[in-house]
Amino acid sequence: MGYERDDYMRRQEAEHAMIAMRTPPAPRTSDSELARLQRERDYAVRWANQSVQMLQDAFFPVADALRDLEAYLRHTPHHNAPEAAAARKALARFDDIRTATPPASQGE
């Protein structure tokens, strides 16, 4: 039984060696290619951060209008209570979006 196991192991090793000989080596990435990929990554991170900032800036006027609406509805008669609650809910959602911070970029 030991002979069969040894024979099996030798055949497995030979098969793996043949496969390794037929498999081409992985291409190496040149320094210039790595630098290009890094520049593209940095550009993508900057673009994403600018996009997030533009979206946050767009929410400021809307959030301010919702605050004004909520304050107005809070000081009006009782029948406006559902509208004031809806304004508070919308304002809370806008505040959550506005205060969300984009992921920190590593290159900046």
- The answer to whether 70 touches 87, Cβ cutoff 8 Å, is yes
Residues 11-66: pLDDT tens digits? 888 888 877 777 777 677 788 888 888 999 999 999 988 888 887 788 777 777 77
Give pLDDT, residue 15.
84
Give pLDDT, residue 103.
56
Record the tokens describing residue 36, joined without a space. Answer: 């290009």
- The answer to whether 49 touches 81, Cβ cutoff 8 Å, is no
